[in-house]
Structures are given as structure tokens and as C-alpha cells.
Amino acid sequence: PFHYHRMAVSIYATEFAALVGSSALIVNLVQMYQESFPGIAKVTRDQMIASS
């Protein structure tokens, strides 16, 4: 049972790392996009402030 448990944990850890990696990638892309278009960045920031 321990062997399967360890396998499940390692798979879960791998999936989690992939999820975190893709999230970081999306955040980086959004930041690059906003830096390229300051006007859009301002609108996005205003929307985030308004929705919070």
C-alpha cells in the first residue's frame, strides 16, 4: 500500500508543479501584455479594483 501511496503523492506533486508552472506562465504573459499596452493595463487594473 505504501508504494502506491508514494506513487500517488509523486503524481499529485507533479500535477501541482505543472499547474503552478502554467499559472506563473500566464501571469508573466499578462504582465508582458499589460506592459505592451499601458491603456489596457489601466483598464484591467481599474476593473480588478472595482470587482474587489
For residue range 3-33, list pLDDT tens digits in order: 777 888 888 999 999 988 888 988 888 888 7
- Arithmetic mean of pLDDT, 31-36: 79
pLDDT of residue 2: 66
Q: Return the higher-pLDDT residue of 47 and 38.
A: 47
35 pLDDT higher than 80: no
pTM for the whole structure: 0.41
Looking at this protein, which amino acid is placed at residue 43?
A: V
